Amino acid sequence: MALALYYTAGSAPCRLVLLVAAALNIQLDLNPVNLRAGEQFNPEFLKLNPQHTVPTLVDGDFSLWESRAISRYLVSKYGDENNSLYPSDPQARAVVDQRLDFDLGTLYPRFGGYFYPQIFGGAKADEALLKKLEEALVFLNTFLEGNTYAAGDKLTLADLSLVATVSTIDATGIVSLDKYPNVQKWFELVKTSAPGYDKANQAGIDEFKALLASFKAKTEL
Ligand SMILES: N[C@@H](CCC(=O)N[C@@H](CS)C(=O)NCC(=O)O)C(=O)O
Q: What is the CATH number of the domain that holds 191?
A: 1.20.1050.10
Identify whether the C-beta of residue 114 lies closer than 8 Å to the C-beta of residue 126. yes
Same domain, 99 and 42: no
156 CB under 6 A from ligand 1?
A: no
> What's the 89 CA to ligand 1 centre distance in angstroms?
30
Q: Are strands 28-32 and 56-59 parallel, antiparallel or unpaired?
A: unpaired
ipTM of the complex: 0.99
> If pLDDT is split at 50, 70 and 90, which confidence band does 82 have?
confident
Q: For residue 158, give the nearest of 66, 102, 96, 221 by alpha carbon.
A: 96
Question: Is 161 in the active site?
Answer: no
Nearest CA to ligand 1 atom 16: 53
d(CA 95, CA 78): 22
Query: What letter represents residue 200's amino acid?
Result: A
- pLDDT over 70 (residue 221): no
| H or E, element range at 85 | none
d(CA 41, CA 51): 9
Q: What are the angstrom distances between the C-alpha of 179 and each of 95, 127, 164?
A: 25, 17, 19
Same domain, 124 and 165: yes
Query: What letter represents residue 43's amino acid?
Result: P
> If pLDDT is split at 50, 70 and 90, which confidence band does 131 have?
very high
Domain count, the chain: 2
Residue 151 lies in a domain: yes
Q: What are the angstrom distances between the C-alpha of 147 and each of 8, 10, 177?
A: 32, 29, 18
- pLDDT over 80 (residue 56): yes
Same domain, 37 and 131: no
* Beta-carbon contacts of residue 219 (< 8 Å; ≥ 6 apart): 122
Mean pLDDT of 93-114: 98
Query: Which domain does 30 fall in, by range?
Result: 3-78
> If pLDDT is split at 50, 70 and 90, which confidence band does 194 have?
very high
13 CB under 6 A from ligand 1?
A: yes
d(CA 67, CA 17): 6
Same domain, 119 and 210: yes
Same domain, 120 and 72: no
Mean pLDDT of 162-180: 97
67 CB under 6 A from ligand 1?
A: yes
Same domain, 50 and 108: no
Q: What are the angstrom distances between the C-alpha of 34 and each of 8, 13, 26, 63, 145?
A: 7, 15, 24, 19, 39
> What's the 72 CA to ligand 1 centre distance in angstroms?
17
For residue 43, give the CATH number of its domain: 3.40.30.10
56 CB under 6 A from ligand 1?
A: no
Identify whether the C-beta of residue 7 lies closer than 8 Å to the C-beta of residue 32. yes
